[in-house]
Chain A
């Protein structure tokens, strides 16, 4: 069975500093990986995906993610955090029929 782990429930970072939100996965075969963001009382917004190709994937709002096959990781990064980036972030893994397996989420808090 496939799975996704987000080891940190919360990440705190100062505005202007780089941020990293961690994700590791387990799957047989090639992974299709996604990052979504959820603002309070809202649905999930797609940020970026890795299907194949370059290990560094660029997405919306200045976010990027680095795919590392040997470490089975897909960490989300941003060079300079904004207060408005504060939200709940989910890593997800595609399964059969395109259904998604989600991690438990990481609450990002960006402070002034």
Chain B
């Protein structure tokens, strides 16, 4: 049973470019969460999605960031016009939706903006 998959594992973008981060949840999991880990900091919640719906985006910056979880395919976190401050590790986690509560995390995408 494959775990949460994220790709790419490492992504380098120049300032002003777009970054697309992908997350495939565990099989049978319909809830996806994105978190950001800045250097020397803990993980911060960004957005919570279910299939085709954004449930909670209270942690997402208002500009340049967007997320989706289409009916088919992976969840995508999109960062437009990246800036150096976007350099971080972005983690995706999934949850089955049953009352087990523990989220399962992917290996993360490390974004470096040059």
Contacts and interface: CB of A to CB of B under 8 A. Distances in A.
B107 A100 contact: no
Nearest to B55: A97
A104 interface: yes
Interface residues of B, number: 26
Contacts of B102: 34, 46, 49
Given A49-B101, A96-B56, A101 B45 contact: yes
A76 to B, nearest CB: 15
B28 interface: no
A68 B44 CA distance: 25
Interface stretch (A10-18, A36-44, A77-85): A36-44
B106 A97 contact: no
B43 A90 contact: yes
A43 B105 contact: yes
Contacts of B104: 46
